[in-house]
Amino acid sequence: MSDLMANKPLLDTLFQAHGSPLNIHYLPAMDENIHTFRKVFEKHGLPHQLYYARKANKTQSVVERAAQNGIGVDTASYRELKQALEAGVSPELLVVTAAIKTAQLLELAVEHNVLVIIDNPDECELLNSIAKKHKKHIRIGFRVSGFYAEDKKLYSRFGFDINAVAPFITTGCFPDGGESHLVYKGLHFHLDGYSTTERGAALTQCIVLAKRLETQGLKTEFIDIGGGVLVNYLQHKDEWNNFQQELKKAVQGKCDEITFNNDGLGFQLIDGNLHGTLDAYPYYNEENGATFLENILNYRYKNYPSVSELLQGKDIELRMEPGRSLLNQVGMTLARVVFRKKDARGRWLVGLEMNMSQLKSSSADFLLDPLTALEPAEAAPTEVYFTGAYCLEQDILLKRKIALPHLPQVADVIGFVNTAGYLMHFYETQAHLFELSTNLSLKSAKEQYVFEDFKEECSEFDIRLPDLRRMTNS
Ligand SMILES: Cc1ncc(COP(=O)(O)O)c(C=O)c1O
């Protein structure tokens, strides 16, 4: 990312060709992330498989990279499944976990014999009838929830409750008088939040459930622990702690604002007292990636042996569906500076050619400092807010005030780092008829990149408007 930002002529050529903003994907980073998880499973001697959770990023080249690495893809919609099949992912390595499974999606899954994770009885009935119509037998797993962790029950709107799922699997899931076209293969969960102890507890309860099902003649071939593996985005713990301290001070009026209009990002001052917590992804995590998985495998729930010990020799494949964590260091979002101005409160606003949907976190703000490619100028430290192209007052791209060595000039470049997991695409819209941003991928590691190394996404599903800018130019 830093190398690219240091090459302004190359950035200018990329913008000339593709407009702003641009999403760049560096695919070799995904290989490393896959390798990191595989090493942990291998160390524990556990049969395993990874499924890249496609929902985290729309780019097809990342799906192709998953296939090249021999891992599977977790799909959450008809189009995600269709594209994964087109990318050459083996149907054996695909799974459908969509929250809403339409008949169109299930027809496609049945056509290609793709494993489906069942969430509810209606879905089960629909899949069975489609499989029956095509005279096929389809592999299924059951999504389970309502696990116990530290004596509290974990609520989820997804899946079957752990206390009620066994009778459904053994007798209730075959609605038309026992003629089943569904073949039980395994158990699945995906927990909200980022707790390794909750995941360890849930996995233990699934292993116990698998044992119970075995006594009734049903062999569990896999347990899938979903995603939610934490990513560490920051270099130092101090950055994280200092930021929160300063934010609290600012909200209490003890120092100047450090966020636009003194947004507390979850903190609030009520009757002079500070309330709330930071409503943002935990950007600093010592437990992340490999250590996150390691801590799940080493977890001991109540008096049980560790998860890893419980699984030894059981012939159950342990699966996971990481999205964000497989995309760590894979992507960045670049945008061009269009204007600078001082607002009525004396704050510098720097307008970028992009909008808030093209860098949007599901939490209160994206808390990483951007990189910059600025025309050299005399040092004159300046604090700015980056603003976007929507007609909404709220289109402030980062709520944090950003300190720069000097004011950027028009056509300078701002680079938002590590945005591939959920940030660049998840909420992307075409409001104002803006085009979606272009996605470019770098397929191999090189000392120095040239324009031709950046491969543009080209997909049947790209819902692009005609390129108005080019049309106007001609
Ligand atoms: C079923 C399922 N699997 C996997 C994931 C991926 O989670 P993450 O990107 O946090 O790893 C999600 C995310 O919502 C999910 O719902």
The pLDDT confidence band at residue 461, using thresholds 50, 70 and 90, is very low
- State the pairing for strand pair 331-342/160-161: unpaired
Ligand 1 pocket mutation pick from 30, 50, 54, 55 by most atoms within 8 angstroms of CB: 55
pLDDT at 176 over 90: no
Q: Is 123 in the pocket of ligand 1 (CB under 6 A)?
A: no
Q: How far is the CA of 80 from the centre of ligand 1 (A)?
A: 14
**Residue 421 Cα: closest atom of ligand 1:** 9
The pLDDT confidence band at residue 173, using thresholds 50, 70 and 90, is confident
Q: How far is the CA of 323 from the centre of ligand 1 (A)?
A: 6
**Residue 228 Cα: closest atom of ligand 1:** 10
* Closest by Cα among 54, 53, 29, 52 to 441: 29
Q: Whose CA is nearest to atom 10 of ligand 1?
A: 228
The pLDDT of residue 465 is 40
Domain 2-25+330-468, CATH homologous superfamily name and number = Lyase, Ornithine Decarboxylase; Chain A, domain 1 (2.40.37.10)
Percent of the chain with pLDDT over 70: 95
Peptide bond into 21 cis (omega under 30): yes
The pLDDT of residue 466 is 41
The pLDDT of residue 457 is 85
Those residues whose C-beta lies under 8 Å from the C-beta of residue 111, and which sit 6 or more positions away, are: 134
Q: How far is the CA of 347 from the centre of ligand 1 (A)?
A: 39
Q: How far is the CA of 322 from the centre of ligand 1 (A)?
A: 6
Could you tell me where the beta strands, DSSP code E, fall in 110-210? 115-118, 138-145, 148-149, 152-153, 160-161, 182-188
| Distance from C-alpha of 222 to C-alpha of 114, rounded to nearest angstrom | 15
Could you tell me where the beta strands, DSSP code E, fall in 195-281? 222-224, 268-270, 273-275
Q: What are the pLDDT digits (tens) for 362-390?
A: 899 999 999 999 999 999 999 999 999 99
466, 436 contact by CB (below 8 A):
no
pLDDT at 468 over 50: no
* Closest by Cα among 137, 329, 141 to 223: 141
The pLDDT of residue 178 is 60
Cα four-point dihedral sign 398, 403, 407, 413: negative
* Closest by Cα among 106, 97, 72, 109 to 87: 72
Q: Is 226 in the pocket of ligand 1 (CB under 6 A)?
A: yes
382, 404 contact by CB (below 8 A):
yes
Residue range 291-316: mean pLDDT, rounded: 97
The pLDDT of residue 322 is 98
The vertex-134 CA angle with 115 and 126, nearest 5°, equals 60
Q: Is 224 in the pocket of ligand 1 (CB under 6 A)?
A: no
Q: Is 190 in the pocket of ligand 1 (CB under 6 A)?
A: yes
Q: Whose CA is nearest to atom 5 of ligand 1?
A: 227
| Distance from C-alpha of 320 to C-alpha of 325, rounded to nearest angstrom | 11
**Residue 422 Cα: closest atom of ligand 1:** 9
Q: How far is the CA of 169 from the centre of ligand 1 (A)?
A: 24
The pLDDT of residue 269 is 96
Angstrom CA distances, 226 to 49, 192, 283, 286, 333, stand at 11, 10, 20, 21, 27
Q: How far is the CA of 86 from the centre of ligand 1 (A)?
A: 22
Ligand 1 pocket mutation pick from 80, 158, 321, 418 by most atoms within 8 angstroms of CB: 321
Return the C-alpha torsion angle 7, 60, 186, 295, nearest 10: 10
What 3-state class would DSSP assign to 403?
strand
Q: Is 324 in the pocket of ligand 1 (CB under 6 A)?
A: yes
Q: What are the pLDDT digits (tens) for 228-237?
A: 999 999 999 9
Tokens representing 172?
Answer: 């209730």
pLDDT at 172 over 80: no
Q: Is 72 in the pocket of ligand 1 (CB under 6 A)?
A: no
* Closest by Cα among 26, 54, 27, 51 to 38: 51
Which residue spans of the chain are classified as CATH 2.40.37.10?
2-25+330-468
Q: How far is the CA of 226 from the centre of ligand 1 (A)?
A: 6
Q: Whose CA is nearest to atom 4 of ligand 1?
A: 227
Query: What's the CATH class of domain 28-231+290-324?
Result: alpha beta
59, 439 contact by CB (below 8 A):
yes
Q: Is 423 in the pocket of ligand 1 (CB under 6 A)?
A: no
Those residues whose C-beta lies under 8 Å from the C-beta of residue 408, and which sit 6 or more positions away, are: 337, 340, 350, 372, 374, 375, 384, 414
| Phi, psi (deg, nearest 5) at residue 349 | -110, 130
The pLDDT of residue 174 is 63
Q: Is 321 in the pocket of ligand 1 (CB under 6 A)?
A: yes
**Residue 97 Cα: closest atom of ligand 1:** 1
Q: Whose CA is nearest to atom 7 of ligand 1?
A: 227
Give CA 395 to chain center in angstroms: 22
Q: What are the pLDDT digits (tens) for 205-243?
A: 999 999 999 999 999 999 999 999 999 999 999 999 999
- State the pairing for strand pair 455-456/438-442: antiparallel
Q: Identify which has the larger pLDDT, 466 or 383.
A: 383
The pLDDT of residue 472 is 42
Percent of the chain with pLDDT over 90: 92
Q: Whose CA is nearest to atom 12 of ligand 1?
A: 227
Please, what's the b/e burial string for 142-168 (b: 16 or more CB within 10 A of its CB; e: otherwise)?
A: bbbbbbbbeeeebeeebbbebeebbeb
Q: What are the pLDDT digits (tens) for 11-36?
A: 999 999 999 999 999 999 999 999 99
Q: How far is the CA of 82 from the centre of ligand 1 (A)?
A: 19
pLDDT at 44 over 50: yes
pLDDT at 473 over 90: no
Q: Please give the single-letter amino acid code of residue 215.
A: T
The pLDDT of residue 161 is 98
What is the DSSP code (8-state) at residue 460?
Answer: T
| Phi, psi (deg, nearest 5) at residue 429 | -130, 170
Residue with tokens 């800018």: 469
The pLDDT of residue 254 is 97
Residue range 86-99: mean pLDDT, rounded: 96
Residue range 451-462: mean pLDDT, rounded: 77
**Residue 143 Cα: closest atom of ligand 1:** 1
Residue range 184-191: mean pLDDT, rounded: 98
pLDDT at 463 over 80: no
Which residue spans of the chain are classified as CATH 3.20.20.10?
28-231+290-324
Q: Is 74 in the pocket of ligand 1 (CB under 6 A)?
A: yes
The pLDDT of residue 171 is 83
pLDDT at 470 over 80: no
pLDDT at 46 over 80: yes
23, 333 contact by CB (below 8 A):
yes
pLDDT at 464 over 80: no
* Closest by Cα among 249, 254, 282 to 264: 249
What 3-state class would DSSP assign to 345?
coil
